[in-house]
């Protein structure tokens, strides 16, 4: 079973950027779909973006035009480049592999505040 570890979170001002990384403990070559989700206390976990092994991407409406998901199968890493950040992007961000038994990561906190 592959385990994921997120990193790259932090505190930024509105309009700023962050790049999140999701490092897998093993190969992601055979993992068809990988995704980023975020969670705010009191709300359901929300899918932000996903990317298939063929490079097909999906973005939530909130993320379109601002976030870019990518993956490097050779390095076993998935990224989420987040630009034009807004206070409402504040959340804990998780990476996971939908439809598999691979464990979710512990998450990385993103705080957008002036």
Beta bridge partners of 99: none
* Per-residue pLDDT tens over the stretch 74-101: 999 999 999 999 999 999 999 999 988 8
* Per-residue pLDDT tens over the stretch 16-34: 999 999 999 999 999 999 9
Residue 9: is its pLDDT beyond 90?
yes
Q: Give the closest residue to 56 by CA, choosing from 70, 46, 67, 66.
A: 70
- What is the DSSP secondary-structure string of 79-111? EEEE-S--GGG-EEEEEE-TTS-PBP---EEEE
Q: Which helix (H) or strand (E) holds 4?
A: strand 4-7
Q: How many CA atoms lie within 13 A of 12 on its CB side?
A: 21
């Amino acid at each position: 079973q592959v385990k994921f570890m997120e990193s790259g979170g932090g505190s930024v001002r509105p309009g700023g950027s962050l790049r999140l990384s999701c490092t897998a403990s093993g190969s992601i070559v055979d993992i068809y779909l990988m995704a980023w989700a975020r969670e705010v206390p009191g709300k359901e976990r929300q899918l932000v973006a996903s990317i298939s092994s063929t490079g097909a991407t999906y973005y939530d409406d909130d993320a379109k035009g601002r976030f870019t998901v990518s993956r490097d199968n050779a390095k076993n890493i998935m990224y989420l480049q987040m630009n034009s950040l807004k206070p409402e992007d504040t959340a804990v961000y998780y990476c996971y592999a939908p439809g598999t038994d691979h464990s979710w990561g512990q998450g990385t906190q993103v705080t957008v505040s002036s």
